[in-house]
């Protein structure tokens, strides 16, 4: 089974629970006395996604302002960025918007952005309305979820959504979405061809297979080899 490596960085204010989210996802553990991250920490986890495996290479960055200048080292080259805020602290949501702006200006052009409103278990003292955060996420075409690292709520689901964005099925649907006349061919291609080929080392076989069903789109075929 093919393995795709996905570099993911976590960004956000200090104390919002970035490390706790990563720890819950990777180790299924919550530490009530977690120490602030110094610089960045690195963890990995491999998960199944359709017909392949996705290996998350996770960089958990420090939230303190004095480490802000180091962040570009981690989000450059990242496939996805998870920007975390604390639903009980409005200031952390304003910081999130600054991270979104920085990624738009300096991050990878095709980076997947996910917004995570952490500490969902403290909803009775929330300062950030869910609708406001969700509407903002929709305005920038970002993934959005409220999570609770403490109670293991929506953490796994958050990374599953990110993983799905890099599945072959999702990418094919996205590439060919404007072409209604070939949508019915995509499922057939996936069922009959994916079992014997994968993106990467055998990418040329994928290109030939897709070429058979997209003869009217020769200019789009090179995208599959990126």
Mean pLDDT of 160-173: 78
Mean pLDDT of 87-113: 96
What percent of the chain is modeled with pLDDT above 70?
74
Say what the pTM is.
Answer: 0.76
Other C-beta atoms within 10 Å of 169: how many? Answer: 16
Residue-wise pLDDT for 196-209, tens only, equals 444 443 444 455 44
Mean pLDDT of 42-67: 90
Quick check: 11 and 75 in contact, CB under 8 A?
yes
Residue-wise pLDDT for 60-99, tens only, equals 998 787 778 888 998 999 999 999 999 999 999 999 999 9
Length of the chain: 226
Quick check: 42 and 60 in contact, CB under 8 A?
yes
Whether residue 221 is predicted with pLDDT greater than 80 in this model: the reply is no
- In degrees, rounded to 5, the angle at the alpha carbon of residue 195 between the alpha carbons of residues 189 and 2 is 115
Whether residue 22 is predicted with pLDDT greater than 90 in this model: the reply is yes
100 is written with which tokens? Answer: 């979104």
Residue-wise pLDDT for 129-141, tens only, equals 999 999 999 999 9
pLDDT at residue 168 in the model: 62
Q: Tell me the three state secondary structure of residue 9.
A: strand
CA distance 151 to 45: 20
pLDDT at residue 38 in the model: 75
pLDDT at residue 66 in the model: 74
CA dihedral 101, 148, 47, 183 (to 10 degrees): -60
Mean pLDDT of 149-153: 97
CA distance 44 to 26: 7
Minimum mean pLDDT range among 14-23, 91-100, 122-131, 160-169: 160-169
Mean pLDDT of 144-164: 97
With cut-offs at 50, 70 and 90, classify the pLDDT of residue 224. Answer: very low
Q: 153 burial class (0-12, 13-18, 19+ CB within 10 angstroms)?
A: middle
Q: Distance of CA 25 to CAs 48, 65, 137, 154, 174, Å?
A: 14, 25, 22, 10, 27
């Amino acid at each position: 089974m093919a393995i795709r490596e996905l570099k993911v960085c976590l960004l956000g204010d200090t104390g919002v629970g970035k490390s706790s989210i990563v720890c819950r996802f990777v180790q299924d553990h919550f530490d009530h006395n977690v120490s602030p991250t110094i610089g960045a920490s690195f963890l990995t986890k491999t998960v199944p996604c359709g017909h392949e495996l996705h290996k998350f290479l996770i960089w958990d960055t420090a939230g303190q302002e004095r480490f802000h200048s180091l962040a570009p080292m981690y989000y450059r080259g990242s496939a996805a960025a998870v920007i975390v805020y604390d639903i009980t602290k409005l200031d952390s949501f304003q910081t999130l918007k600054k991270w979104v702006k920085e990624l738009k200006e300096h991050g990878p052009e095709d980076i997947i952005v996910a917004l995570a409103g952490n500490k969902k278990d403290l909803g009775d003292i929330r300062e950030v309305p869910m609708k406001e955060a969700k509407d903002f996420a929709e305005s920038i075409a970002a993934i959005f979820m409220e999570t609770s690292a403490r109670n293991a709520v929506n953490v796994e689901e958050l990374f599953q959504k990110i993983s799905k964005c890099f599945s072959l099925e999702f990418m094919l649907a996205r590439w060919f979405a404007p072409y209604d006349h070939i949508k019915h061919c995509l499922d057939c291609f996936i069922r009959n061809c994916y079992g014997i080929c994968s993106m990467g080392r055998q990418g040329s076989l994928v290109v030939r297979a897709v070429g058979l069903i997209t003869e009217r789109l020769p200019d789009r075929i090179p995208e599959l080899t990126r």
